[in-house]
Amino acid sequence: MNLQQEIIAKLGVKPEINVDEEIRKRVDFLKDYVLKSGVSGLLIAISGGIDSAVVTGLCKKATDELTEEQGKEYKTLGVFQPYGEQVDISDSYAVAEAFQLKYRIETNIEEAVNEIALEAEHGLKSIGEHRHLSRGGKGNVKARTRMVMQYALAFELNLLVVGTDHASEAITGFFTKYGDGAVDITPLSSLNKRQVRSLAATLGVPQSVLDKAPTAGLWEGQTDENELGITYGDNSSFLEGKDIDPVAKEKLEKQYMKTEHKRAPIPGI
């Protein structure tokens, strides 16, 4: 087994999927875990991107079915988390409208992030490091602050925090460990980006979201593909076991090896 095959096996990606079957399987997965956990529903942070839009659709379908089947209400809470002014926040609300979310909360993280950054800079100054947080460092603070807010709300409302992680992000380690990766359940984890898009079309994700370039929103103009220098087309094809450009393949495999610590549980001794 070569490295590509090992990665595919570890991440559980299929070369082809039946979209309707995958939707059904993932909705049932969410329903089962909600019942086992004894919670009142699901929380999803809606960024305005395709991944969170697909998860929103799955969550809403799961809680609607549970409400009908169990005879009591189960919630899907959509959370919007701009940093200051989010230029595409209308896409987040369009997702909420498309899936008819009854419960929505907007929490602006700008003030909290800036205070954390300021305290960190004071700390650096105390050891002789006179500088601002780096762009990447502040981006990580944003990711972690968003998760703190999600868990604050989830605790009060007895909800599970649902993640948007999928195999095309896992292979590159493109998440902040225990930042945006600190969630309770990940219904997209064995899908690649192309497959997520296939689910999106069937679920009814708004066209404005389908047309956007993928971004984690960590700084202005940031996109996943530009940051990594790897297209999601090559990424998805690799995970489907296809041959891709050798340069892209080498870059993906190196990125996978370099970021293994992000996918691994916290080590102990």
Q: What residues are annotated to the active site?
A: 51, 169
CA–CA distances in Å: residue 3 to residues 7, 99, 166, 242, 253: 6, 40, 19, 13, 8
> Count of residues for the chain?
269
CA–CA separation, 167 vs 184, rounded Å?
17
Q: What is the dihedral of CA 217, 147, 188, 232, to 10 degrees?
A: 20
147-151: long-range pairs with CB below 8 Å, 24+: 147/178, 147/179, 147/180, 147/182, 147/183, 148/112, 149/79, 149/81, 149/107, 149/109, 149/112, 150/43, 150/45, 150/79, 150/81, 151/182
Full strand arrangement of the beta sheet holding 75-80:
103-106, 75-80, 41-45, 160-161
∠164-159-187 over CA atoms, to 5°?
25
Which pair of structure tokens corresponds to residue 56?
């929103």
Phi-psi region of 249 (alpha: psi -120 to 50; beta: other; left: phi over 0): alpha
